Structure 1
Amino acid sequence: MKLNKSLSMISALSLMAVSLAACGGNNGNNASPSASSESPSPSASASAPASSAASGSDELKPEDGAKLLVWESKDERAFTDEIAAEFTEKYGVPVEIAEVAPTDQVTRLSTDGPSDLGADVVIFPHDHLGRAVTGNLVLENDVFGEATKSENAESAITGVSYDGKIYGYPRAAETYALYYNKSLVKEAPKTWDDVIAVSKTLLDAKKNKFGIEWEVGNFYFSYPFIASTGGYLYGNNGTNKDDIGINNDGAVQSMTVFKSLKEVLPVKAADITPDIKRGQFTAGDIAMDMNGPWELAGYKEALGDNLGVAPIPSFGDKPAVSFSGVKAWYVSSYSKYPNAAKLFARFASSKDAQLKLNKLVGSVPTNTEAQNDPQIKDDPAISAFVAQFNNSQPMPSIPEMNNAWSPAGAALTEIWDNGKDPKAALDAAAQQIKDLNNGTAKQ
């Protein structure tokens, strides 16, 4: 899934799942939340023996007569077709796959789940998890939780957890790194000072030729200029809406670097769009592009051996901290076959499954053994994304995440386009986010 699609949360989404909770979702794993009283309760089969939960649950067995519906994106359907066939061969459980955009799945599950039309296993970006949990739409990853934690990168576990509990089964990471054209920049700059130095030698504004571009007014892509020297959006790993850190001393420090880059990129924020930037990079008009793995295939095709990928430049001796997303499987709380669904989510997120997904669609694994497999280690582009992901912060999954995009983006644009003082702009953004969080924003 392309991340520009996963950022659809920028438009505030209705928390309709909360109002639908009374229709069925449960808070545990042992009662069927189906609206139909005739639906069989999974209470007897959903709870695995204690020994099985502790051991990673080799003893968990699918329910008699189990069959699963899995929702998957069109872009990654080839992977799920293969992994579902392998799962059926191993467990004897038939799997039907339906194409539903991951960003639509939480909303769809809130309506289709109570009607017994929803999938047993769903996949969505982790920033939708807060809506899913508060709407009682997904089950906790209880049986395989400890194994999932031990096998995946810390950023991935943070992303698929909510209120101290793990719900997801991570399968891929998404963040951004530094693409560079080796015919223009022989080696990737190590620091932002290096970026500025090399960009000065490449700048030709009249011909729209620049050393570097990124979506400067997009909070997602400009988050390193908040977080790398101590800033953050929400405190306590993104869970405390009342602790806003985008305007602390650390954030202001790195935002001065952001402001200084306007000298080598004299372009209005609104004039840097994904399509324009893509065309410029593939044409050789910009040497470096801070972007995600969804551009990798196209950039490889355009630049061939001249394409390089590296982690984001550091801020002096402080590594760049990017925002990241985690795509993960989740088990619907409406599933009549929770054991089978949990087994599928586990099976389809294993090391081998993540390596298969990488081979088929170029994804970035979260499983640490997969990250260190030669298939990944020997791929300089994917390994660069892995390195950056392991130094990233997952986007907060609390519903208040939606309140940050517009104020933060407006502050970035004010600083970039109009030279506004970073501290003043960030103070204003933090206050607006706080007001939105508390329902006191001016209409």
Structure 2
Amino acid sequence: MMKKWLGVLIVCVLVFTLAACGNAGKGSNIESTPEASSTPAEPGGSNAVNEEEGELLPEEGASIVIWEGKTQRKFVEALAQEFTDQYGVPVKLEEVENPDQVTKLTTDGPAGLGADVVVFPHDQIGRAASAGLVLPNDWFGEETASENDPNAVSAVTFEDILYGYPRSVETYALLYNKKLVSAPPKTFDEVIAFSKTFNDPKKNKYTIMWELQQFYYDYAFLATNGGYMFGSNNTDKEDIGLNNEGAVEGAKFLASLKESLLPLNTGDITFDIKKGLFIEGSLAMDINGPWALADYRAAGIDLGVAPLPSISGNPMTSFSGVQGYYVNAFTKYPNASKLFARFLSTKESQLRNFEMNGTIPANLEAVQDPKIQNDEITKAFYEQFSHSTPMPAIPQMASVWGPITAGIADIWDGGKDVKASLDNSVAQIKDAIASQ
């Protein structure tokens, strides 16, 4: 047990500093059963860990279930068969879309009905970890912390404890039609200059769009100049930086774009409206994510992707997400589950997922592979990811969206004072958090 907790402590320190680590000892997780479980998992037996070899072995008779979305089925089934061949542990896939998994695990986990390995976006880790639904990534924590992008490691960490095994990263970037834009603009000044030759709202032609009613995208304007969501690396709910000096300057710049680029109201720019304009050639540039690529490619667009244009010399800071594997805290087979989560998230597996599904690896070596470096679109998204902020994972984030979205609408649609509008939004956010 002493070795186990020492290993967990080492991982926590490594994740907190986001430093590459050496060859410190790993902690055994034979007894890593949640105290809250009414049906605690049985230890894997005397052969669960080969102490001399420092090797984690699956429990005797183990079989595991993984929840994963439909688009990942072929990848998971292929890797599951290889895992079974190597470890003798059967794996079954049940289709549950990633955003729904924490909600389902909340009830199914304690009831013994949840999958052993789950996959969800990192912004739900606070909810899952606080409820004791997932186990720490202790045995493979050192490798995970050193092999993956620091932003990705930070994203799957909660309260200085590493829980996740990063699968892929995502953020939004600048998508552009190469037939309309010969070279992507590197600054917003260049965007504005281009608009003078292209923009024609009366003919429904626009230079650039993003979903204005979604603060997920508007955040980039506030953050690039020094605004932030929460302090202490998005963990301090008492420190809200959406109305500081940088955020106000960013929001003022955002508001200025209505006259020069987008004389529309926030509700006029939906995902579908924007997509339609881009496909018909009436929109030159679109701030969007990899989720839009399939439709644009299917439409035959000569598509390019580049990092977001800088503002006042500062790289534009987008929100980002990290999909990661997690081990159900109520699993009967924690060793086998940790082995499978690791198996799915190695450099080789992340590259294979990229080849099969176009997911962007979190693994640092995988990103340098020629398969990635020679892919213009994936490389651009990853470059933008390096300038991103992982979506806050603390539960209080749910109190932010409504007030700040209303504040941006007041500024953009109503022309109201920027500082007063942001102050009002932050006050509402603080009241909502205090009432929780």
TM-score, length basis structure 2: 0.89
Map of 1:231-380 to 2, 5 A cutoff? 231-263=227-259, 264-304=261-301, 306-380=302-376
Match of 1:88 among 84, 92, 103: 84
For 2:160, the aligned partner's letter is: G
Q: Could you tell me whether the CA contact under 8 Å between 1:33 and 1:334 is conserved in 2?
A: no
Q: Which residue of 2 aligns with 1:68?
A: 64
User: Partners in 2 of 1:35 and 1:205 — Cα distance?
Assistant: 60
Which AA in structure 1 matches 2:141?
G
Residue 18 of structure 1 corresponds to which residue in structure 2? none
Shift in CA distance, 395/232, structure 1 to aligned 2, threshold 3 Å: same
Q: Say whether the 8 Å CA contact 2:44–2:60 is kept in structure 1.
A: no
Deviation at 1:129, TM superposition (A): 0.6
Is residue 181 of structure 1 aligned with residue 177 of structure 2?
yes
Deviation at 1:281, TM superposition (A): 0.6
- Residue 169 of structure 1 and its aligned partner are, at CA, apart by 0.3
Q: Distance between the aligned counterparts of 2:46 and 2:77, measured in 1?
A: 26
Change (3 A) 1:51 1:213: farther
Question: How far apart, in 2, do the equivalents of 1:377 and 1:279 lie?
Answer: 30
Deviation string, structure 1 residues 191-223 (Cα, Å, up to 9, x no partner): 111111112221111221100010112110111
What do the CA deviations read for 1:244-286 (whole angstroms, capped 9, x no partner)?
A: 0011111112222211111211111101111111111111110
Alpha-carbon distance between aligned partners in 2 of 1:258 and 1:356, rounded to the nearest angstrom: 40
The CA distance in 2 between the partners of 1:31 and 1:293, in whole Å, is 38
SS in 2 for 1:76: helix
For residues 213-228 of structure 1, the aligned pairs below 5 Å read 213-228=209-224
**CA shift in 2, pair 1:415/1:30, >3 Å:** same
**Counterparts of residues 44-59 of structure 1 (less than 5 Å):** 59=55
1:114 Cα offset (Å): 1.8
Aligned counterparts, 1:97-116, within 5 A:
97-116=93-112
Does structure 2 conserve the Cα–Cα contact (< 8 Å) formed by 1:177 and 1:291?
A: yes
Do the aligned partners of 1:177 and 1:312 also contact (CA within 8 Å) in 2? yes
Q: Which amino acid aligns with 2:205?
A: K
Q: Which residues in structure 2 correspond to 1:75-224 (within 5 Å)?
A: 75-224=71-220
- Give the match's secondary structure for 1:179: strand
Residue range with higher mean Cα deviation, 410-419 or 128-137? 410-419
Taking only aligned residues, the RMSD between alpha carbons, in angstroms, comes to: 2.0
Q: 1:303 to 1:196 in 2, by over 3 A?
A: farther
In structure 2, C-alpha distance between the alignment counterparts of 1:234 and 1:142, rounded to whole Å: 27
Relative to structure 1, the CA distance from residue 51 to residue 331 in structure 2 (aligned partners, 3 Å threshold; closer, same or farther) is farther
- Amino acid corresponding to residue 298 of structure 1 in structure 2: D
Q: Counterpart of 1:124 in 2: which secondary structure?
A: strand
Between the two proteins, the alignment pairs up a number of residues equal to 407
Structure 2 residue runs of 5 or longer lacking an equivalent are: 1-29
**Quick one: distance in 2 between partners of 1:243 and 1:136?**
26
Q: Do 2:170 and 2:321's aligned partners in 1 also have CA atoms closer than 8 Å?
A: yes
- SS of 1:354's partner is helix
Distance in 1 (CA, whole Å) between partners of 2:415 and 2:213 is 13
Q: CA offsets per residue over residues 289-336 of structure 1, 9 Å max, x none?
A: 0000011122123244x2110001111221111100110000000011
What's the secondary structure of 1:170's corresponding residue? strand
In the alignment, what sits opposite 2:3? none
Amino acid at match of 1:89: D
Q: Which residue of 1 aligns with 2:42?
A: 41
**Residue aligned with 2:228, SS:** coil
Amino acid at match of 2:240: I
Task: Give the direction of change, closer, same or farther, for the CA distance of 1:361–1:403 in structure 2 (3 Å limit).
Answer: same
Rounded Cα–Cα distance in structure 2 between residues aligned with 1:135 and 1:45: 30
Aligned to 1:12: none
* DSSP-derived class of the 1:186 partner: coil
- The range that moved more, 95-104 or 192-201, is 192-201
Deviation at 1:34, TM superposition (A): 7.5
Contact 1:320–1:391 under 8 Å retained in 2? yes
Q: Partner of 1:369: helix, strand, or coil? A: helix
Q: SS of the residue aligned with 1:223?
A: helix
Assess, with a 3 A threshold, how the Cα gap between structure 1 residues 333 and 29 changes in structure 2: closer, same or farther.
farther
